[in-house]
């Protein structure tokens, strides 16, 4: 049987790889190996997702951990090469844009193993973002470019990618969201936090450009503090952000705004229960922009750009930058009932993993690549 090797490493990878692994397992025509690089290693950043997503324990755990970009990527390259030589996969499937994605693609390309990049073609056109470098390099060397939306196809074509490499499969992370939403909303998450549906906001910040500079982080917190005078904001704190809050002495500011409620990072289902019933989401996450569009919840993106423009063109997302005055103004607009309405982009329909599994079979000669029910 031909073998697909999946690589996951950081939190946003798990909900993308899980439905692909499941679809391939259900169809039963390909063998699979799941490798966790260990880029994220905390229980709350990693283990809980395997439980929540019903993903089997990884076959291989590399335990790479944190470090500078060079250290983290280099360690991952060295360890992945050993795994690839041992496992001899016919195709390496990488998702997203984290350092583990880049490392997986780089090792596979040097060993002449076919690479599939799921979530190809997204561009912020901002090379200061480490994720942008990871996206560009991975797409340049991947054999299969699996895109979530037509804007990604257009970016790849503009960069000279051969059209035969590009496959518009839709947004696989939304497969996970749609499959999990009802189960998430049965949890007691809102009651446990003393919240009522539609009466609270959710905030997240973790991007280096937002949290590593005290001036930027302070400004963003002051904007969130303003919003928190109107309704509670639940703010699950990413480890990077928690460290920066402590290092930059910003805790006093948080104590003065009781409506801004900092909590530990949440599991997938708990967090989905929270976002799906929120009035407003304020974030610098890429995935959350897409999830809020799929959920129809207003989203303000606290960045100067997005690699996911479809969430702005069609969805509920507005890119508002990091100027506190602008953020306050746009949040007030949403809370006064004048928020942006949106629709869900085509092919964000819960069937992307099925399309990907069928494509892998076709490419590896393990079947006709027919879908179990018409989904194209």
Cβ–Cβ under 8 Å, residues 175 and 352? yes
Q: Under the criterion CB under 6 A, does residue 342 sit at the interface with ligand UD1?
A: no
* Strands 201-204 and 166-168, sheet pairing: unpaired
Among 39, 149, 276, 317, indicate the residue that binds ligand UD1 (CB under 6 A).
39
Q: What is the dihedral of CA 249, 253, 256, 260, to 10 degrees?
A: -110
x/- string (CB under 6 A) for ligand UD1, residues 314-333? --------------------
CA 338/CA 331 separation, integer angstroms = 10
Q: Which of 1, 26, 28, 42 touches ligand UD1 (CB under 6 A)?
A: 42
How many binding residues for ligand UD1 (CB under 6 A)?
19
Rule CB under 6 A: choose which of 75, 206, 303, 355 binds ligand UD1: 206
Q: Which of 66, 199, 229, 251 binds ligand UD1 (CB under 6 A)?
A: 66
The answer to whether 204 contacts ligand UD1 (rule: CB under 6 A) is: no
List the strands of the sheet with 260-263, edge to edge.
Answer: 260-263, 233-236, 201-204, 280-283, 298-301, 317-319
- How many C-beta atoms surround the C-beta of residue 264 within 10 A? 10
Of the pair 32, 322, the CB lying nearest ligand UD1 is at 322
Contact at 8 Å (CB) between 83 and 107? no
H or E segment at 354?
Answer: helix 352-363
Query: Applying CB under 6 A, does 165 fall inside the site for ligand UD1?
Result: no
In angstroms, give the least distance from the CB of 11 to ligand UD1. 4
Among 2, 31, 74, 130, binds ligand UD1 (CB under 6 A): 130
For ligand UD1, the closer CB: 135 or 351: 135
Least CB distance from residue 129 to ligand UD1, whole Å? Answer: 8
Distance of CA 54 to the CA centre of its chain: 18
Cα–Cα separations (whole angstroms), residue 175 to 53, 170, 282, 341: 11, 9, 23, 22
What is the rounded CA–CA span in Å between residue 70 and residue 49? 26
133 near ligand UD1 (CB under 6 A): no
Of residues 212 through 271, those in contact with ligand UD1 by CB under 6 A are: 238-240, 243
> What gap in Å lies between CA 9 and CA 244, rounded to an integer?
22
User: Which among 40, 206, 226, 238 is annotated as catalytic?
Assistant: 206
DSSP-derived 3-state class of residue 268? helix
Q: In whole angstroms, how close is the CB of 198 to ligand UD1 at the nearest point? A: 27
Instruction: Tell me the per-residue interface mask from 78 to 117 with ligand UD1, x by CB under 6 A, - otherwise.
Output: -------------------xxx------------------
Interhelix angle 286-295/268-276, nearest 10 degrees: 50
206 flagged as catalytic: yes
Q: Is 301 in the site for ligand UD1 (CB under 6 A)?
A: no
Min dist CB 323 to ligand UD1, Å, is 22
Look-up of token digits 């969201």: 177
Rule CB under 6 A: is residue 76 a binding residue for ligand UD1? Answer: no
Rounded to the nearest whole angstrom, what is the least distance from the CB of residue 308 to ligand UD1 in the complex?
A: 13
35, β-bridge pairs: 7, 60
Q: Which residues bind ligand UD1 (CB under 6 A)?
A: 10-12, 39-42, 45, 66, 97-99, 130-131, 206, 238-240, 243
Catalytic residue list: 206
């Amino acid at each position: 049987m031909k073998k697909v090797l999946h690589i996951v490493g950081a939190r946003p990878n798990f909900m993308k790889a899980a439905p692909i692994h499941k679809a391939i397992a259900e169809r039963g025509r390909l063998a699979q190996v799941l490798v966790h690089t260990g880029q994220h290693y905390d229980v709350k950043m990693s283990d809980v997702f395997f439980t929540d997503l019903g993903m089997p324990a990884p076959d291989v755990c590399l335990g790479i951990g944190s470090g500078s970009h060079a250290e983290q990527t280099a360690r991952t390259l060295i360890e992945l090469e050993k795994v690839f030589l041992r496992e001899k996969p016919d195709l390496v499937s990488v998702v997203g844009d984290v350092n583990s994605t880049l490392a997986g693609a780089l090792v596979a390309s040097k060993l002449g193993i076919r690479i599939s990049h799921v979530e190809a073609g997204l561009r912020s056109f901002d090379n200061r973002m480490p994720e942008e470098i990871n996206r560009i390099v991975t797409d340049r060397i991947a054999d299969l470019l699996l895109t979530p939306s037509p804007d990604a196809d257009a970016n790849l074509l503009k960069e000279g990618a051969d059209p035969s490499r590009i496959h518009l499969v839709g947004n696989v992370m939304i497969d996970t969201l749609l499959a999990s939403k009802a189960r998430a909303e049965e949890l007691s998450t809102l009651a446990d936090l003393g919240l009522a549906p539609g009466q609270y906001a959710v905030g997240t910040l973790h991007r280096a450009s937002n949290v590593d500079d005290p001036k930027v982080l302070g400004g963003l917190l002051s904007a969130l503090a303003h919003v928190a005078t109107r309704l509670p904001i639940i703010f699950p704190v990413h480890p990077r952000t928690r460290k920066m809050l402590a290092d930059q002495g910003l805790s006093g500011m948080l104590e003065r705004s009781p409506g801004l409620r900092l909590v530990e990072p949440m599991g997938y289902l708990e967090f989905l229960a929270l976002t799906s019933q929120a009035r407003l989401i304020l974030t610098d996450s890429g995935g959350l922009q897409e999830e809020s569009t799929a959920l129809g919840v207003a989203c303000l993106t606290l960045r100067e750009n997005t690699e996911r423009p479809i969430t702005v063109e069609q969805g509920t997302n507005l890119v508002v930058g990091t100027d506190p005055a602008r953020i306050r103004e746009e949040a007030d607009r949403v809370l006064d009932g004048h928020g942006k309405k949106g629709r869900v982009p085509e092919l964000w329909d819960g069937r992307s993993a099925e399309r990907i599994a069928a494509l892998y079979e076709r490419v590896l000669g393990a079947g006709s690549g027919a879908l179990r029910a018409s989904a194209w």
